[in-house]
Amino acid sequence: MRRFLVLLPPFAWLLALVAAPVAILAGIALSQGAPGVPPFLPPVSLAAGWQGTLENILTLVQDGYYAGSFLRSLVVAGVSAALCLGLAYPVALGIAAAREGWRVPLLAMVLLPFWTGFLPRLGAWIGLLRDGGWVNGVLTGLGVTAGPLPLLYSDAAMYLGMVHAYLPFAVLPLTATLLRRDLAVEEAAADLGASPWVVFRTVTLPLSLPGAAAAFLLVFIPAAGEFVIPELLGPPEALLVGRVLWAEFFQNRDWPLAAALAVALLVLLIAPIRLFQRLDEGGSRRGASPPSRVGGTAADGRRPGVLR
Amino acid sequence: MAEALLRLEGVTKRFGATLALDALSLEVMPGEFVALLGGSGSGKSTLLRIVAGFEAAEAGRVLLQGRDIGALPPHARPVSMVFQSYALFPHLTVFHNVAYGLRRDGVARPEIARRVAEALAMVGLEGFEARKPAQLSGGQRQRVALVRSLVKRPPLLLLDEPLGALDAGLRERTGLELRALQRATGAGFVMVTHDQAEALALADRVAVLQEGRLAQYGPPQVLYERPATRHVAEFLGAANILEGRARPDGAVECGAGCLLRPPRAAPAYALRPERIRLVAQAPAEKGVTARLKDLAYRGDGWLAMVALPGGAEWRVALPADAAPPAPGAALSLAWAAESLAPLDA
């Protein structure tokens, strides 16, 4: 009974804020569109009984426009996550190697852009990259280019925005992993004749792979559904799931199709989310094994905080 | 005189304001097993890390086989180290753990396979090649760590508390195996330990470190029977410390009814509990009468706490076959004059 009372709040929370909205969304996805507010017929009604349809879901599978948008989203998310990982690894390595007093300020610098508004940041990028913006102004002013370069509304601008927005998601788990590592193991490798680069390649890097995978997925999962950044910085042809969904919902007022898109994206991301959870559990179990000389690492298996 | 395998000259190391090593000099001969013994903060682990190259000495030289290796990074030093936590590579199998050093040296694969198999056989770990460290017991991990270093045939092996993580039952046996391995390979061993029994049992010479300085360096018997300082006497097993006022005739008063005739004058003397005998009549200048305060059975004998007339408390080891005296009984104690070890500090 006590157990039940303890478990009640989180389950109530999950039910109200996760399960119920997903159920409503799934219901809309199964319904037919109709003029009116809201613009669909409920799939089941007292008067008419079952009046739902699988048409919306079939459309997603059969129409290359939607399937293509999913594929593009996954590619953009994958490239963004890979870029973030590549940039975050040296940053995390540096933070982990820094003196204890320096770690918090360095992490704060990584997080700083996170604390400024999301839209003003994108606005700043637009101001920098647009035809009459800072970058083009300087380039044409110095005579480097004859006219403005098409910087904004390009893949490059989109990835710039993605990396800028999601980099902290990659830096934090990597820093935690690298701080938790047993430095004695690296010393042992050096002692056995491994140069610093070989120590990194044969010990540090393989042992940090779970953290790197977690960093990749933490960027990949939200990036796959990202709407604002491709919309504001990306090229018009970058029709990602988020943009298509937005268009169906607000422009076409096709709620059932938009809902079907949202549910499909959720289903598509279950696999990477499960993978991330597995890695996370594995990471905490691994943290229990070797005692370490790293500042915040405890030998008793509890997971140390990043900042200690 | 053969050339020293390892020679430390005036090695000094400071951590902030703390002096970890204070101009320490030490020699290890080829094939010698040396124990660095000291309490925490004595500088023994720092010394090991300076030889391995993980810490840089502020002053002084580290010579290996006559060559100054002080400026070499750890991977370029021919010494090898066994870490206290073993520091096995958790992502590699036992085979690849042991092969790691050989691969770094560019040894050919068939040769690596042969030498790894040979090394694992040496410590009875045949058949464990494919296991990961997490699938091994503590004792097995310790042996993998040991042969991972030894397989490279280093002239000098450094061991940081190699038995510290093992439980008591395993320690003695593993210690003897360690010694047998050292004899078999002929490598010089320098082992850091805080366990005096371990140091006395395994080492050819024991270096007692105190506050970054070498308090005494010599064979275990000499350190035990002839400790140079009070610290060494107390660190190496139980010792009764006798202080007293020297009389003009050379005798020393060590309290009421206690008179010593030491071999030479010193500020204090050490007397081991097992050098004291129970006699019918305490002899003058080589004995004393004391009162039994407490008695503890130790299996191989009794440890008696006795109070001297002057108030000092001594420990006396009594043989197991002796009928234990009752608390409060007066005991007549005697010792041989040469059992008194003069202490200089």
CB count, 10 Å around CB of B317?
Answer: 17
The answer to whether the Cβ–Cβ distance between B90 and A185 falls below 8 Å is yes
Q: Give A-chain residues touching B75 at CB under 8 angstroms.
A: 190-196, 198-199
Mean pLDDT for the stretch of residues B302-319 = 87
* Ranges of CATH 2.40.50.140 domains, chain B: 238-343
* pLDDT of B193 strictly over 50: yes
pLDDT of residue B277: 87
The answer to whether the Cβ–Cβ distance between A289 and B81 falls below 8 Å is no
Mean pLDDT for the stretch of residues B53-70 = 94
A291 vs B79, B80, B85: nearest CB: B85
Strand positions, DSSP E, chain A: 32-33, 40-41, 44-45, 49-50
* CA-closest candidate to residue A168, choices A125, A222, A131, A248: A222
* Ranges of CATH 3.40.50.300 domains, chain B: 6-232
Mean pLDDT for the stretch of residues B272-299 = 86
Q: Give A-chain residues touching B152 at CB under 8 angstroms.
A: 192-193
Q: What angle do CA A264, A267, A268 make, to 5 degrees?
A: 85
* pLDDT of A285 strictly over 70: no
Q: Give B-chain residues touching A190 at CB under 8 angstroms.
A: 53-54, 73-75
* pLDDT of B75 strictly over 70: yes
DSSP string, B300-323: SEEEEEEE-TTS-EEEEEEETTSP
The Cα–Cα gap between B136 and A133 comes to: 63
The answer to whether the Cβ–Cβ distance between B104 and A286 falls below 8 Å is no
Q: Give B-chain residues touching A189 at CB under 8 angstroms.
A: 89, 100
* B148/chain A closest Cα distance in angstroms: 8
Q: How many CA atoms lie within 13 A of B138 on its CB side?
A: 15
pLDDT band at residue B28 under the 50/70/90 scheme: very high
**Which class in CATH covers the domain with range B6-232?**
alpha beta
ipTM value, please give it.
0.85
Mean pLDDT for the stretch of residues A170-197 = 95
The answer to whether the Cβ–Cβ distance between A188 and B152 falls below 8 Å is no
CB A246 within 8 A of CB A227: yes
**Which class in CATH covers the domain with range A65-244+267-286?**
mainly alpha
B57: left (phi over 0), alpha (psi -120 to 50) or beta: beta
Structural element, H or E, at residue B41: none
- Maximum average pLDDT range among A171-180, B164-173, B227-236: A171-180
pLDDT band at residue B256 under the 50/70/90 scheme: low
DSSP string, A187-233: HHHHHTT--HHHHIIIIIHHHTHHHHHHHHHHHHHHHHT--HHHHHH
pLDDT of residue A287: 41
The answer to whether the Cβ–Cβ distance between B73 and A190 falls below 8 Å is yes
Mean pLDDT for the stretch of residues B4-22 = 93
The answer to whether the Cβ–Cβ distance between B148 and A192 falls below 8 Å is yes
* pLDDT of B221 strictly over 80: yes
Residues A6-16: tens digit of each pLDDT: 889 999 999 99
| Position B344, amino acid | D
B74 vs A190, A290, A291: nearest CB: A190
Q: Mutating which of B49, B55, B69, B83 best tests the A interface, going by the most A Cβ atoms within 10 A?
A: B83
- A148 or B104, which is more confident? B104
pLDDT of residue B206: 96
The two structure tokens encoding residue B146: 């040991």
Weakest-pLDDT range from B158-167, B173-182, B243-252 = B243-252
Percentage above 70 pLDDT, chain B = 98
B52 vs A189, A191, A291: nearest CB: A191
The Cα–Cα gap between B296 and B306 comes to: 12
Mean pLDDT for the stretch of residues A155-175 = 93
Residues A188-198: tens digit of each pLDDT: 999 999 999 99
Weakest-pLDDT range from A275-279, A296-300, B339-343 = A296-300
* pLDDT of A292 strictly over 60: no
Mean pLDDT for the stretch of residues B70-77 = 95
Q: Give A-chain residues touching B81 at CB under 8 angstroms.
A: 187-188, 191
pLDDT band at residue A293 under the 50/70/90 scheme: very low
B75 vs A195, A207, A290: nearest CB: A195
- A278 or A307, which is more confident? A278
* pLDDT of A133 strictly over 50: yes
pLDDT of residue A282: 60
Q: Give A-chain residues touching B53 at CB under 8 angstroms.
A: 190-191
Q: Does B46 touch chain A (CB under 8 A)?
A: no
The two structure tokens encoding residue A24: 């409503």
pLDDT band at residue B1 under the 50/70/90 scheme: low
- B170 or A99, which is more confident? A99
Q: Does B80 touch chain A (CB under 8 A)?
A: yes
CB B5 within 8 A of CB B29: yes
Weakest-pLDDT range from A127-136, B94-103, B202-211 = A127-136
The Cα–Cα gap between A32 and A253 comes to: 12
Mean residue pLDDT across chain B: 90
Mean residue pLDDT across chain A: 86
Right CATH for B238-343 from 2.40.50.140, 1.20.58.1880, 3.40.630.30, 2.40.50.100: 2.40.50.140
* CA-closest candidate to residue A232, choices A301, A143, A161: A161
The answer to whether the Cβ–Cβ distance between B101 and A192 falls below 8 Å is yes
Q: Give A-chain residues touching B148 at CB under 8 angstroms.
A: 188, 192
Rg (CA), chain B: 24
Q: Give B-chain residues touching A292 at CB under 8 angstroms.
A: 85
Question: Tokens 């085979």 sit at which residue?
Answer: B95
The Cα–Cα gap between A89 and A100 comes to: 19
The answer to whether the Cβ–Cβ distance between A290 and B85 falls below 8 Å is yes
The Cα–Cα gap between A284 and B51 comes to: 35
The answer to whether the Cβ–Cβ distance between B81 and A188 falls below 8 Å is yes
Q: Give B-chain residues touching A188 at CB under 8 angstroms.
A: 81, 83, 87-89, 148
Mean pLDDT for the stretch of residues A88-102 = 94
Query: What does residue B37 show for φ and ψ, rounded to 5 degrees?
Result: -115, 135
pLDDT band at residue A283 under the 50/70/90 scheme: low
Query: What does residue A29 show for φ and ψ, rounded to 5 degrees?
Result: -60, -30
- B268 or A291, which is more confident? B268
Mean pLDDT for the stretch of residues B217-230 = 92
Query: What does residue A86 show for φ and ψ, rounded to 5 degrees?
Result: -60, -40
* pLDDT of B128 strictly over 70: yes
The Cα–Cα gap between A86 and A89 comes to: 6
Per-domain residue ranges of chain A = 65-244+267-286
pLDDT of residue A301: 36
The answer to whether the Cβ–Cβ distance between A198 and B104 falls below 8 Å is yes
pLDDT band at residue A69 under the 50/70/90 scheme: very high
Question: Tokens 């400024």 sit at which residue?
Answer: A116
* pLDDT of B186 strictly over 50: yes
Residue B36, SS3 per DSSP: strand
Percentage above 90 pLDDT, chain A = 51
The answer to whether the Cβ–Cβ distance between A185 and B87 falls below 8 Å is yes
Q: How many CA atoms lie within 13 A of A89 on its CB side?
A: 17
